[in-house]
C-alpha cells in the first residue's frame, strides 16, 4: 500500500495499491484487458504504445506510481 502524499507541484495523491515492478507491460492494472481488483476499474492503456506514456516514465520509490 502506498501512503497518501503530496507531489512537488502540490497535487495530493491518494493512498493506493501498487504492484511490484517487473519486466512486462501486460500485467499492469491500467493495461487493456486487466481489471484493478481493488477498484474494479477496467484497464485502457495499450501496453505496446510507443508514445510517451506511463510505461516510459521512471518510477520513484519515494513518491510511488503515477498510475493506478
In tens, the pLDDT along 14-36 reads 998 877 888 887 888 888 999 98
- Residue-level length of the chain: 68
Of residues 56 and 13, more confidence is placed in: 13
Residue carrying the nine cell digits 510505461: 55
- The pLDDT of residue 29: 83
Backbone angles phi, psi at 60, to 5 degrees: -110, 125
CA 40 to chain centre: 15
Q: Is the pLDDT of residue 41 over 70?
A: yes
pTM tops 0.75: no
- The pLDDT of residue 61: 44
Rounded (10°) CA dihedral 16, 58, 19, 7: -10
Backbone angles phi, psi at 16, to 5 degrees: -160, 165
- The pLDDT of residue 28: 83
Amino acid at each position: 500500500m502506498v501512503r497518501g502524499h503530496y507531489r512537488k507541484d502540490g497535487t495530493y495523491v491518494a493512498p493506493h495499491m501498487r504492484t511490484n515492478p517487473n519486466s512486462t507491460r501486460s500485467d499492469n492494472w491500467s493495461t487493456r484487458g486487466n481489471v484493478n481488483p481493488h477498484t474494479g476499474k477496467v484497464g485502457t492503456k495499450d501496453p505496446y504504445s510507443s508514445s510517451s506514456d506511463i510505461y516510459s516514465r521512471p518510477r520513484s520509490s519515494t513518491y510511488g506510481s503515477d498510475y493506478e
